[in-house]
Amino acid sequence: MLPIDKFTQVTDQLKESGNYRVFNDIQRERGSFPTSIWHSKYNIKKVVNWCSNDYLGMGQHKVVLDAMRTALDHVGAGSGGTRNISGTSHYHVALEQELAVLHCKPAALLYTSAYVANEWTLIALKKIIPDVEYVSDDKNHASLIQGMRHSGAVKHVFRHNDMKDLESKLMAVKGTPCIVFESVYSMDGSVSLISEICELADKYHAITYIDEVHAVGLYGEQGGGMVQQLGLESRVDIINGTLGKAFGCHGGYIASAAELIDAVRSVSSGFIFTTSLPPVVCAGATASIKFLRDETGQVLREKHQSMVYQTKQALRAAHIEILENQTHIVPVMVRDPKKCKKISDHLLYEHDTYIQPINYPTVPEGSERLRIAPTPNHNQVMIDTLIKGLTTGFTKYND
């Protein structure tokens, strides 16, 4: 018999602290992104989505949808098994080849998500290199933290972007060091000091592992991420990325040396024992990557950055506090979990504007925020509505 009181105790505590998560029933509208349909407890209405990770709207792009329709007619829905048991189609092979080219690496390996890719690659590295010791940025994503923890390897944590602290931690490593970090940190929008990290990696003969999930598709001449933008592909050993954000599809991957990819795929349980991505998804992702590698992709990236700039300028002009950064992430700081939820609801109910509150444990307590993600599909009218909703919301719920 289930001890129901144990479960309700957990959710009651979350509700009391303001950290209980409410998942809004949002339905994307094909052809009219970022407009969505919200199924509320009272009615159904159109809203403007300001918090989607489909940063470029590629999940709605004709190039992607056409490729997926063709694949659906060609091979059907699912893959039919794990990669080892009938789950490797030409669509999987072609996508891995395209990812390798994107990152200037000899090979790539698909996973069902970037979270799984991070977790199980880091676990696999410990199996392959028994004395590996991870040196981790203290703002790393949960998937990286879980992977290092579950690997059983020794872990050293350095302060975010603090190169002196990183070097001190590298000096303490007794085995093979592996520096684990992200390029763009999703909640603050900060960018890691990739060049400086690579310099220290060379000095201490460390492996470099970077998570580029919030940068691929958006930065670099061909959308290869921050590493590509800096011309450091040859300096970073393992690149992790996602197909579920700027590429508008689903899934995750790593790109690296062919020998590493071959070994990881051979020992990574999270890869071996999971049904592979549907070929339809692979087809859409391949088309999206090719499109964003082309000149048309660069035009879209420039339009995206322009909309980010306009949004930030409007927020500054309205004296709404944002966490300043040089990326597309726009955190509006609220600093209180209950107020954050109230303003989010105010935007949704009163101004047809959808932004999910970001609370603990995603961000530290006292740094709660509304994370805005402008896209090339937003416009000035939407920005004006956003500013009005935030201004009235802060006025209404300020103590």
Q: What is the pLDDT of residues 286-345, one digit of tens each?
A: 999 999 999 999 999 999 999 999 999 999 999 999 999 999 999 999 999 999 999 999
- Among 364, 316, 371, residue whose Cα is nearest residue 336: 364
Q: Walk along the chain (399 residues) and give the pLDDT tens digit of each residue.
A: 999 999 999 999 999 999 999 899 999 988 899 999 999 988 999 999 999 999 999 999 999 999 999 999 999 999 999 999 999 999 999 999 999 999 999 999 999 999 999 999 999 999 999 999 999 999 999 999 999 999 999 999 999 999 999 999 999 999 999 999 999 999 999 999 999 999 999 999 999 999 999 999 999 999 999 999 999 999 999 999 999 999 999 999 999 999 999 999 999 999 999 999 999 999 999 999 999 999 999 999 999 999 999 999 999 999 999 999 999 999 999 999 999 999 999 999 999 999 999 999 999 999 999 999 999 999 999 999 999 999 999 999 986
Domains (range + CATH), the chain: 4-55+298-397 (3.90.1150.10), 61-293 (3.40.640.10)
* First and final C-alpha spacing in the chain: 45
Decide the pairing of beta strands 369-372 and 357-358.
antiparallel
Write down the catalytic residue from 105, 126, 139, 245. Answer: 245
Give 53's DSSP letter. S
The count of residues in the chain is: 399
> Is there a catalytic annotation at residue 245?
yes
Q: What are phi and psi for residue 288, nearest 5 degrees?
A: -65, -45
Q: What whole-number distance in Å separates Cα of residue 183 and Cα of residue 364? A: 20
**In terms of DSSP H, where are the helices of the chain?**
4-17, 62-75, 90-102, 114-128, 142-151, 163-172, 194-203, 226-229, 258-267, 269-272, 279-293, 295-317, 337-351, 380-397
